[in-house]
């Protein structure tokens, strides 16, 4: 299983696969140039400041989540200790530490959204997709995550889907979003 601090966070299937298969984690030349551009934004000796954007780049590049191998790779690129990367990746909810669905529903669960019905929206999504918070549908299309404030309290209840906010959620709007995602998946398969 390896001696990684995050092994316990990775699903047993992935751990099983990792026992028998060496995973090659490496950015393309274009992505390595992007990493260099990101690091160059910061003063000399402050390369650790590039960690968050490089983790975003890695998450986008390697399947929407950060395995221990991917975090180790990022650490090596930035000349950091792996634990420094693990600390950041486990702190922020924007990083996924296990495989996720193609469409991530990140529903705000803080006070203003709760007062406007986010708990009912979360329950509706769970029932509609037959998953719990932190789970992915069996077809791999949808994952549900609850998050802290997304800074759109005036549009509660709301969620983030990819890079876009979906606001003033109702069960009917959730149904339409799910259908839109399914159509998008069928079209762009």
- Tens-binned pLDDT, residue by residue, of the chain (189 aa): 444 444 444 443 344 444 444 557 899 899 999 999 999 999 998 989 999 999 999 999 998 999 999 999 999 999 999 999 999 999 988 899 999 999 999 999 999 999 999 999 999 999 999 999 999 999 999 999 999 888 899 999 999 998 899 999 999 999 999 999 999 999 987
pTM summary value: 0.74
SS3 155: helix
- Give the Å distances, CA to CA, from 72 to 5, 23, 100, 135, 147: 11, 12, 20, 25, 26
CA atoms of 34 and 103, how far apart (whole Å): 25
C-alpha 15: how far from chain center: 19
Please choose, from the candidates 101, 105, 114, 124, the residue with its C-alpha nearest in 3D space to the C-alpha of residue 153: 114
Q: Tell me the backbone φ, ψ of residue 112, rounded to 5 degrees.
A: -60, -40
């Amino acid at each position: 299983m390896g001696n990684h601090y995050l092994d316990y966070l990775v699903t047993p299937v992935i751990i099983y696969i990792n026992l028998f298969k060496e995973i090659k984690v490496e950015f393309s030349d274009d992505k390595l140039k992007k990493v260099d551009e990101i690091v160059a934004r910061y003063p000399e000796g402050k390369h650790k400041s590039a960690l968050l954007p490089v983790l975003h780049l890695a998450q986008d590049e390697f399947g929407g989540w950060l395995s221990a191998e991917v975090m180790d790779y990022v650490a090596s690129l930035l000349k950091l200790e792996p634990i420094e990367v693990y600390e950041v990746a486990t702190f922020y909810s924007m990083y996924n530490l296990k495989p996720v669905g193609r469409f991530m529903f990140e529903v705000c669960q803080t006070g203003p959204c709760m007062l406007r019905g986010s708990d009912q929206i979360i329950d509706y999504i769970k029932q509609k997709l037959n998953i719990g918070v932190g789970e992915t549908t069996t077809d791999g299309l949808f994952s549900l995550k609850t998050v802290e404030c997304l800074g759109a309290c005036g549009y509660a209840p709301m969620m983030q889907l990819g890079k876009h906010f979906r606001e003033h959620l109702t069960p009917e709007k959730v149904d339409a979003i799910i259908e839109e995602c399914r159509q998008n998946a069928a079209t762009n398969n």
